[in-house]
Structure 1
Amino acid sequence: MSRIGKLPIPVPDGVEVTIDGVGVHVKGPRGELERSFSSEMEITLSDGAVRVARGSDEARQRALHGLTRSLIANMVTGVSRGYEKQLEIHGVGYRAEQKGRDLVFSVGYSHTVTVEPPAGVVFGLESPTRVKVMGIDKEKVGQMAAEIRAIRPPEPYKGKGIRYVGEYVRRKAGKATG
């Protein structure tokens, strides 16, 4: 049995979970999320916890078991606490500025790069070199942070670029003179 799939998902106070067949609707203080899952998974709500069960031991159902449980747990965490990814910008003259909801990056190109947040995602700017991506949907927050990082990924020689806070960039030696 899936070690992750068999764990119950505790529903905190202030969070409301509604299950209708294959659809799960989660509503909390930060917002609401809805998602439909495979009909092969049996999702139940009892004793203040959501449980996911599978019908058989087929490989497909074993794979879906832990995935379904993780996705529902992420939804519950998102509407109760939310998610946040932090990025930092390294490089002389590299910076970001906020214009309304959008972020404008100056990262060594001949032009600035403007990034619009999708619905449900908010940008925060702690300083010109620190960006926060916040929201209730873990998938959207992670995808938006990855798209921002892809504007100018960190390069291995000087370490310039956009990286996640705490990300280790493996450095290479430069050209040997001789």
Structure 2
Amino acid sequence: MSRIGKRPVELPSGVSATVSGQTVEVKGPKGTRSFTATDDVSISVEDNAISVTPRGGSKRARQQWGMSRTMVANLVTGVSDGFKKQLEIQGVGYRAQMQGNVLKLNLGLSHDVDFEVPEGVTVTAPKQTEITVEGIDQQLVGQVAANIREWRKPEPYKGKGIRYKGEFIFRKEGKKK
């Protein structure tokens, strides 16, 4: 039995869901998202909650049960609250700023990095050393944050680079004389 799959997904106020076949469409104050489940599970909306149940007892049906419920829960969270990733920049001269739809990064390279922000994600730089990535699609928000971090990962000796807020970087000791 899937412990995650057994619990129904509650719909907060202002969020509505419709099921047509295997597709769930969730509308909320931040937008509209949809998810198409496999044929191994059945999805239903009752009493202001979405429930997912497996069709049969096969291993694949049980695997899809918990995963489908989590995907539906992420849709509901995305359209009601949204998702947010925060990045910090550490290093002398390292900074970020937004210019229109382009994030300009100075990361100690021979050139400035111009990161084009994709559709469906909002990137802001409240300070020169902070970047905030927000959106209603959890996968897209995480991928954009990872792509920005990829330009200069934190190094273990001085800790310079782009890191997630609150991320622990294992530090190494330098050479000794």
- For normalisation by structure 2, the TM-score amounts to 0.98
Shift of 1:127: 0.1
The residue that corresponds to 2:108 in the other structure is: 108
Q: How does 1:1-178 map to 2 (within 5 A)?
A: 1-177=1-177
Task: Give the partner amino acid of 1:114.
Answer: D
- Give the whole-Å Cα distance in 1 for the aligned partners of 2:89 and 2:128: 8
Shift of 1:56: 2.1
Task: Give the partner amino acid of 1:111.
Answer: H
Task: Give the partner amino acid of 2:130.
Answer: R
Give secondary structure in 2 for the equivalent of 1:5. helix
Task: Give the partner amino acid of 1:101.
Answer: N
Runs of 4+ with >4 A deviation: none
- Give the whole-Å Cα distance in 2 for the aligned partners of 1:35 and 1:119: 19
- Give the whole-Å Cα distance in 2 for the aligned partners of 1:107 and 1:36: 40
Task: Give the partner amino acid of 2:10.
Answer: P
| Aligned residues of 2:31 and 2:136 also touching (Cα < 8 A) | yes
| Aligned residues of 2:88 and 2:130 also touching (Cα < 8 A) | yes
Q: Deviations over 1:32-72 (max 9, x none)?
A: 11121101110000000000000122221111111100010
User: How many percent of aligned residue pairs carry the same amino acid?
Assistant: 48
Shift of 1:12: 0.9
How many equivalent residue pairs? 177
| Aligned residues of 2:40 and 2:60 also touching (Cα < 8 A) | no
Give secondary structure in 2 for the equivalent of 1:4. helix
Task: Give the partner amino acid of 2:155.
Answer: E
Shift of 1:176: 1.7
Unpaired runs of at least 5, structure 2? none
- Give the whole-Å Cα distance in 2 for the aligned partners of 1:89 and 1:82: 23
Task: Give the partner amino acid of 2:77.
Answer: T
Shift of 1:22: 1.0
Q: Deviations over 1:125-171 (max 9, x none)?
A: 11000000000011100111111111100000000000000000000
- Give the whole-Å Cα distance in 1 for the aligned partners of 2:73 and 2:163: 27
- For normalisation by structure 1, the TM-score amounts to 0.97
Task: Give the partner amino acid of 1:142.
Answer: G
Considering only aligned residues, what root-mean-square deviation do their CA atoms show, in Å?
A: 0.8
